[in-house]
Structure 1
């Protein structure tokens, strides 16, 4: 019902034709989004609403004209009233040849969202290997340029410098490559993957970021006595099992799925309070599959049962405080060491979720090594010339 209410009340337009025109020195390199492109470079989009976005990558081949460049976007659409209308958006963006300013003003979340949409497209057209190759090459290129143009005076060739604005980009890029919507997985059906691909194509930055790096929040310590109010969520935990206690329970929220992870040593009284299931017959740690199956077969319908106790009230209120996503989240209960845990693990951004994937620490080490090799190659070319 939540999805139905949202779809009936949102602002939406139909039969859209979009044209993006930059100033003369810029050229469109890549467009990421859900669209069909016509030969005359017009973008055809069936519907546009407040939950969709289109991302455009520009490049310049001539000298960039300082101090600004201009982009005009024209949208012709049919309104709900049936009228055909036009909207023109003009942007004036500052241009700079100072590398310090360029890197200081980078938006890592916008870049990560663009990389996510590009990963979907490249994986469909050229496969997972080529997708990983391009994302990693872009990161190496960006950070090598930062090292050589901003910190070139550092005497140590192996020093690892990341711009402050982009220090989280490696963990985002590594997480993108592990997502099932990008790389696939044995647990994912063709229909599920097609659904997520189309969802990602139109995602806004604020919706894509929790999908790339989920919110992990401890919930087993929350209690609401009668008359009390919960106004904010507890602090987030890093998406890594090292920071999760198996005596506790956690939300793992990516905006599409809401996992409730129950540690193997979590208090059984808490599980009974929240889910209304008599779990004293179960050992959560050893038979997580049985307990997980029992919980999943409750008629939750995306909501927890309403039990009259302080733990149940607190967890239900915590769900209400989560930021609104593009869809009503699907609630999935995962017990530690159950068969669902490897699938949930694919959304844990800093974890190694398979033989072909790297943890964040491993990926950062590989990225550093590739940057050092790239710098050495450049120095060899310079010395030879």
Structure 2
């Protein structure tokens, strides 16, 4: 069984029908996305679609596939353009097959698997208990780690040593963030309407934005003295409270959130340059629009925010959170490596349980 993601590169089309054609050795066992499912998962009808529309297909094979020929998959998309013209696009994809598990793990991508599981689990929340879905996620990643440890790792590995596939090292932190998300583990302050809106946004989200939602970028901003150039996304720090310096400024960037955390020991000159205030107590928490000031820090931060907003297909408002403030829970939910306010496990605890359960599964 394996997953397949399709991103449809068309702009604002309507009355679309997407058909997935597979060889006789394969069967389309599921399709997940922002649509009303029909009796045939290989035949998907959607009222509208655009270039952000992403569908996840689940394919199952009952016998060995031909390694030499591989697998050819074809998608046929019919839609009506804005001019009222009915069009059909056909795309073919050839996938390699291998009997070696190591090849399978080498060709897996953590962000793609996260997107597939997100769509699959979020589509199932209307029909299955949330506890069952969280346990299924943990069971599947445990089985994958046990399989890799048994068939792909060195025989000299001790039982107490954690073994993760090289290209899936980020998968546990992604899936733990998915398990304790507001949709699968509701908090006391999340309403059913907020959870439904979040579910609808994520089941249609592409791979890059899905990964950014479940592990946001935590960017440290320069404070005090001469202001150097601002960091890019590659300089983001880990999403945990230990990464936050009380004397610093941090911008949290995700596809649905843009949050500016202000430490309680931030230098006064930085407050003046960025907010035009001299005292932290005068800075209000919540939604804010940064004042237009003629200094390097203000120009760079506003330029960074404009750049990040231009890359995100969602409208976001900047939210300021001060350290120790009552609304700091909004930031705590985004620090996905820590224990979440709704009771979700920290990344370290989740990884420990995965390791113990995989060892137990192998009978060590």
Note if contact 2:137-2:175 (Cα within 8 Å) is conserved in structure 1: yes
Following TM superposition, by how much is the alpha carbon of 1:190 offset from its aligned partner in structure 2, in angstroms? Answer: 3.0
Note if contact 2:76-2:88 (Cα within 8 Å) is conserved in structure 1: yes
Residue matched to 2:106: 104
Structure-2-length-normalised TM-score: 0.89
Note if contact 1:216-1:236 (Cα within 8 Å) is conserved in structure 2: yes
* Unpaired runs of at least 5, structure 1: 1-9, 283-290, 380-385
Residue matched to 1:242: 242
Following TM superposition, by how much is the alpha carbon of 1:278 offset from its aligned partner in structure 2, in angstroms? Answer: 4.8
Note if contact 2:188-2:342 (Cα within 8 Å) is conserved in structure 1: no
Residue matched to 1:272: 272
Map of 1:58-73 to 2, 5 A cutoff? 58-67=59-68, 68-73=70-75
Residue matched to 1:206: 208
Structure-1-length-normalised TM-score: 0.85
- Does 1:327 pair with 2:314? yes
Give the structure with the larger helix fraction. 1
Following TM superposition, by how much is the alpha carbon of 1:167 offset from its aligned partner in structure 2, in angstroms? Answer: 0.8
Q: Secondary structure at the match of 1:347?
A: coil
Residue matched to 1:3: none
Q: Secondary structure at the match of 1:364?
A: helix
Map of 1:131-170 to 2, 5 A cutoff? 131-151=133-153, 153-154=155-156, 156-170=158-172
Following TM superposition, by how much is the alpha carbon of 1:330 offset from its aligned partner in structure 2, in angstroms? Answer: 2.4
Residue matched to 2:302: 316
Q: Secondary structure at the match of 1:131?
A: helix
Separation in structure 1 between the aligned mates of residue 195 and residue 317 of structure 2, nearest angstrom: 15
Residue matched to 1:366: 353
Q: Does 160-169 or 175-184 show the bigger shift?
A: 175-184
Aligned alpha-carbon RMSD (Å)? 2.4
Deviations 1:272-326 (A, max 9, x none): 321234526x2xxxxxxxx56x2436xx4xx422122222112111213326112
Residue matched to 1:19: 19
Map of 1:290-369 to 2, 5 A cutoff? 294-296=284-286, 300=288, 303-322=289-308, 324-354=311-341, 356-369=343-356
* Unpaired runs of at least 5, structure 2: 1-9
Separation in structure 1 between the aligned mates of residue 101 and residue 196 of structure 2, nearest angstrom: 40
Q: Does 78-87 or 149-158 show the bigger shift?
A: 149-158
Residue matched to 2:46: 45
Following TM superposition, by how much is the alpha carbon of 1:344 offset from its aligned partner in structure 2, in angstroms? Answer: 2.1
